Structure 1
Amino acid sequence: MPSRTPVKDTAEYIAIAAPAAQPHLQTLVELITTTLPQATPKIKWHLPFYELGAAYVSVAAYKAHVSLSISADLTPDVLAQAKAAGYATGQKRVNITFDQAVPTELVKAVLSLIA
């Protein structure tokens, strides 16, 4: 999504995302809601967020990838796991290009950092 269009919920965000991003976003949201069922879904800055007290996880679609971000720093182990599997990372995020599969175990490891 080149610009952030206001949305009312996660389903609407996924529906207006690029078709290539939609399956990745849906899979990430399913992993978030099943791994962190106590998380409260919200829309902040026109993006889907899931809050656990002061902690959060969010998803976002970009031109060539989707991103999973959390409020905590990724641990060296999680960063190494992501890089070894070919996923780009940042201090608090994992990027998944449209030609990559959503790494279920890696996502669960990331989510465990805020659970």
Structure 2
Amino acid sequence: MNNRLYQTKGQRFKNEELIALQLEYGCTDFIDELCRNAGGRFVPDVAEDELDKVELANLQLRELSARGLLFAALEKALEDGEITSKEEDKIRQALSKHLAATQHSIECAIVLHKK
């Protein structure tokens, strides 16, 4: 990456640079937010060559974790009986991550067990 981007005040990253950073570090925050703002969610392609039953079990564990984070955010927001716009945004982000994790897990199960 171009280190000068960090040193120039007001310099903006290009989408391609942010995506390259994500690929380098294995995160999806930027693309998750882009997809969520467009009314969808990011679900990675199934890497068939890296998929086995152990990996599928790990994906299902991540799916359950995402579900737990979603309901924890919802429970916390409901403590005072009202959901603020900030709490709503956090809940919707968690919902998007949960739905994406569920879809990815199901897609992987289909690919792994397909005849």
Question: Which bracket does the TM-score occupy, shorter chain normalised?
Answer: under 0.3
More helix by share: 2
TM-score (norm 1): 0.25
Larger radius of gyration: 2
Higher strand share: 1
TM-score (norm 2): 0.25
